[in-house]
């Protein structure tokens, strides 16, 4: 059973069709990147999978059920800049909120089995922080951490409930190149070792290349899905964009897409710098 299956799917926002005729299947434990220019509807795809945005046409099943029904088994990391430097909360508190932040009432200091479930909760938070490699700074105020450190804690937060599907919206955005490589490797490891299916939205495929099973490329209101070497080619992207597009391969394996209407290299101008 695939983790996510879109067939002939279309989404309309404010009377405009964002994309249509999209067929994508993400298998159990697969690592899939969603690529495309600004405004091509990458984040929209994640919101559709979460059931936040309804489809205008087509079908969508998530973890075997209609979208929105199984969100408790999904870890979601929205697109964001970072926590404000004045946010006076520890990184581990933010991870803990991912575990039980949606429960009403106060965690009372009760004896017996309640105390043991509280210990389990703390242990799970610790475990997932170590898994994300954030143990060193998890008890510092999250606003004082660097973008890369915050991103690791947020990935820990998304993982804390042992989800079967991770939806990550531009987790590499606003990170410097070494941190992009580190976070990409972390997500790759989690995908393989924990058996979690990952759908990751990115501008640049290169940091992800060693870990990806497949990519979904969105452009011009349509999508192509498949292995990297089949999708990121001049031929496929020319067809998708309807414009002549070339894909160059550097000697180290990095891919450079030339000629698409919107060069992803400029996207950093839109974002605030993270210290």
Partner 1 sequence: MSTNPHLTWNVVHDLSEVLEYHFMVNALEAGSVVAVMAGVLGWLMVLRRETFAGHTLSMMAFPGASGAALIGVGAAWGYFVFCVAGALAIGRSASGGRRSRSEQPAGTGAVQAGALGLGFLFVSLYGGVLGDLENLLFGTFLGISDGQVLVLAGVAAASLVVLAALARPLLFASVDADVASARGVPVRALGVVFLVLLGLAVAATSQVTGVLLVFALLVMPAASAQALTARVGLSLALTVAIGLAVVWLGLGIAYFSTYPAGFFVTSIAFAVYVIVRVGVWVKGASRRDQRLSGQPPAGGVIA
Is 102 a residue that touches partner 1 (CB under 8 A)? yes
**Angle at the Cα of 171 (from 167 to 237), degrees rounded to 5?**
80
Q: How far is the CB of 196 from partner 1 (least distance, A)?
A: 17
Q: Which residues pair with 57 in a beta bridge?
A: 10
Is 135 a residue that touches partner 1 (CB under 8 A)? no
Q: How far is the CB of 158 from partner 1 (least distance, A)?
A: 8
Q: How far is the CB of 116 from partner 1 (least distance, A)?
A: 19
Question: Which stretch in 140-148, 172-180, 193-201, 218-226 sits in contact with partner 1 by CB under 8 A?
Answer: 140-148
104 burial class (0-12, 13-18, 19+ CB within 10 angstroms)? exposed
Q: Which is nearer to partner 1, 136 or 252 (CB)?
A: 136
CA distances to 41, 43, 90, 104, 111 from 101, in Å: 29, 24, 14, 8, 21
Q: Which x/- pattern, by CB under 8 A, does the window 47-76 give for partner 1?
A: ---x-x------------------x----x
Is 146 a residue that touches partner 1 (CB under 8 A)? no
Is 97 a residue that touches partner 1 (CB under 8 A)? yes
Q: How far is the CB of 204 from partner 1 (least distance, A)?
A: 23
Whose CA is closest to 26, among 168, 154, 182?
A: 168
- CB of 211 closer than 8 Å to CB of 29: no
Q: Alpha-carbon distance 192 to 47, whole Å?
A: 24
* Token code pair at residue 169: 């919206």
Selected from 77, 145, 160, 183, the binder of partner 1 by CB under 8 A is 77
Whose CA is closest to 5, among 54, 45, 35, 39?
A: 45
Q: How far is the CB of 167 from partner 1 (least distance, A)?
A: 9
Binding site for partner 1 (CB under 8 A): 50, 52, 71, 76-78, 80, 83-84, 87-90, 93-94, 97-98, 100-107, 139-142, 157-158
């Amino acid at each position: 059973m695939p983790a996510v299956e879109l067939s002939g799917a279309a989404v309309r926002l404010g009377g405009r069709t964002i994309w249509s005729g999209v067929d994508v299947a993400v298998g159990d434990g697969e690592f899939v990147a969603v690529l495309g220019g600004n405004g091509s509807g990458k984040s929209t795809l994640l919101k559709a999978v979460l059931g936040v945005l309804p489809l205008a046409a087509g079908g969508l099943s998530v973890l075997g059920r209609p979208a929105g029904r199984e969100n408790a088994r999904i870890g979601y990391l929205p697109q964001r800049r970072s926590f404000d430097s004045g946010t006076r909360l520890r990184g581990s508190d933010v991870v803990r909120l991912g575990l039980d932040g949606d429960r009403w009432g106060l965690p009372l200091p009760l004896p017996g089995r309640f105390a043991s479930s509280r210990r389990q909760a703390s242990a799970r938070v610790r475990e997932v922080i170590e898994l994300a490699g954030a143990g060193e700074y998890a008890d510092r105020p999250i606003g004082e951490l660097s973008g890369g450190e915050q991103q690791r804690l947020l990935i820990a937060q998304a993982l804390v409930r042992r989800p079967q599907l991770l939806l990550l919206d531009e987790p590499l955005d606003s990170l410097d190149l070494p941190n992009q490589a580190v976070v990409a490797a972390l997500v790759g490891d989690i995908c393989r070792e924990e058996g979690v299916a990952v759908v990751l939205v990115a501008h640049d495929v290169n940091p992800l290349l060693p870990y990806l099973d497949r990519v979904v490329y969105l452009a011009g209101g349509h999508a192509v899905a498949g292995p990297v070497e089949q999708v990121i080619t001049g031929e496929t992207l020319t067809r998708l964009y309807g414009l002549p597009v070339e894909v160059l391969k550097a000697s180290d394996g990095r891919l450079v897409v030339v000629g698409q209407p919107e060069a992803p290299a400029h996207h950093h101008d839109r974002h605030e710098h993270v210290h």
